[in-house]
Amino acid sequence: MKIMFLKFIQNKIARYLIAGGIAAFVSLSFLYVLTDIVGLWYLLSSTIAFVFAFFASFLLQKLWTFKNTHTHDISRQVALYLITALTGLAANALFMYVLVSVAGLWYMLAQVFSSGAIAVVTFFIYGNIIFNHTQKGRVLLATPLYPPDIGGPATYAKLLETELPSRNIHITIVSFSSVRKLPKIIRHLVYFLIICFRATEAEIIYALDPVSVGFPALIVSKLLRKKFLLRIAGDYAWEQYQVQNEKRKMKNTDGKFITPEEFQERKFDFVTEARRKIEHLVARNAGHIVVPSEYLKKIVQQWGIEGLKIKVIYNSFEFSASLAPKENVREKLGMHGTVIFSAGRLVPWKGFSALIDVIAELKKEIPDIKLYIAGDGPERETLKLQVTSYKLQDVVFLVGRLSSGMLTEYIRAADIFVLNTGYEGFSHQLLEVMALGTPIITTNIGGNSELIENQKEGLLVSYNDKSEIKNAVKTLLKNGAMRNDLIKNGIEKAKSFSKEKAIESLVTLL
């Protein structure tokens, strides 16, 4: 019980509530003693009680809740604290009138709502304006994903959380996945409030996408006068437009694939343009922008962002010198025959549907071929239906989300990794596949060509070109010498994308 209590009072919000409760107790105690025991006029007693409670509250919140021990600006803090307290009293009276007299709410319930709202606002004011205590070298990381979530932002966030403290940069993680189950708009409001509370001591706010976490993080940075850094690993507006595009295809309406480059030059529906304006706004207001490839730098420059503001920091992969034998991993996973593996979010531009078509054709020539697809997303049910309609249930396997360890084993067990993607800023997944010694077939788009030279570290094909993909698979399966060269060159290339290089580049920027 004692340990639970100690953990409880270590929480800033808990200390804030306890301090408020103590101040209320001081006020009531002085009021009772001075009025009923000393015999003072109750209005004089209440004034004296208010003064004592005010200073008790001020000292508790300053020294205990927000741990602000500076004395050089204490007069300013007292003045602001008094103004906040008096404004809170006035706001409470106004709220009570509106909720009770206008809305007809029970006065006790109205007081609960009013007190709660004022407590949230005053906590924000105390922590961020009156007792602001920014700590040098502390970064709040606003991320859309965090482990056990799977994806680039989750991997990147965990890497920074692990590596930066050893370089005297301390990380506070605020993940959007913690509020994702809430209704739309509500989740963004709650996330905004969480960042407000967690960013009080941060020197820098670093957002890992320009919309879902970037927009609320930007607002908080402006309110709290914090430095704002942004990482852009993809064009959010384009990605959402492509998801809607697939729905148009299913309705037999216009659903043509639009490349990211074409997307920058055209105008679209209201919602798409709103998303575009938000990500451009966030990018313009960032102090610096981090991108994982030269390709993405060019895309962001098309948003009207100056090139000097954009820093290319390539993704990294921690290379493991000891790789388990492929045969051992295949036996563990129960894999047999010719194994093709692919992984990624199940979204239209990843081209999984076309890949399944290719496997259906290759099955006629390579009877023991198998395709394993790891990942989840909006296309899952469509792909399952496609597999069933082709009667490929014993050939194509949608294995869903895999843990990092399991994903590594599937990659290692595969004969070929195929990524038929229509867009890739810079693929951390391809980097991992290269390091694990599995030959790659992928598309010649986006940042892929910065990572892979055709016929050196992998084979590059055109997006959704089933004939090219089919021929590339057959070539690699028949040409063992080429396959071995690709594996050897891929491993060496992966080593050049070291974790240390990526971290040091970010530390320098911070």
What pTM does this model have? Answer: 0.70
> Which of 77, 107, 130 finishes a domain?
130
Partner residues linked to 207 by β-bridges: 142, 230
pLDDT tens digits along 24-57: 888 888 878 888 898 888 778 877 887 888 888 8
**Confidence category of residue 374, pLDDT binned at 50, 70, 90:** very high
pLDDT category at 294 given cuts 50, 70, 90 is very high
Q: Per-residue DSSP letters for 193-242?
A: HHHHHHTTT-SEEEESSSSTTHHHHHHHHHHHT-EEEEE-SS-HHHHHHH
Last residue of a domain, one of 130, 147, 165: 130
Same domain, 77 and 167: no
pLDDT of residue 2: 53
Residues written for the chain: 510
pLDDT tens digits along 461-498: 999 999 999 999 999 999 999 999 999 999 999 888 88
Do residue 354 and residue 474 come from a single domain? yes
- What value does the mean pLDDT take over residues 321-327? 74
| DSSP 8-state assignment for residue 95 | H
For residue 197, the model assigns a pLDDT of 75
- For residue 17, what pLDDT is reported? 86
- Which pLDDT does position 171 carry in this prediction? 92
Given 130, 156, 188, the domain boundary residue is: 130
Which of the pair, 445 or 107, is modelled with greater confidence?
A: 445
Q: Are residues 266 and 359 in the same domain?
A: no
Whether residue 431 is found in the same domain as residue 310: no
Q: CA-to-CA distance for 482 and 230, rounded, in angstroms?
A: 41
Same domain, 171 and 208: yes
Shared-domain flag, residues 198 and 225: yes
Same-domain pairing of 291 and 408? no
pLDDT for 69-104, tens place per residue? Answer: 777 768 878 888 888 888 888 887 888 888 888 888
Supply 318's token pair.
Answer: 């921690």
Check residues 9 and 199 and name the one with the higher pLDDT: 199
Number of domains in the chain: 3
CA distance 326 to 414: 8
CATH of the domain at 274: 3.40.50.2000
Query: Which pLDDT value is given to residue 322?
Result: 63
- SS3 category, 453: coil
Range of the domain at 488: 326-497
For residue 252, the model assigns a pLDDT of 45
pLDDT tens, residue by residue, 394-411 = 999 999 988 888 998 999
Phi/psi at 377 (5° precision): 160, -175
Does the pLDDT value for residue 204 go beyond 80? Answer: yes
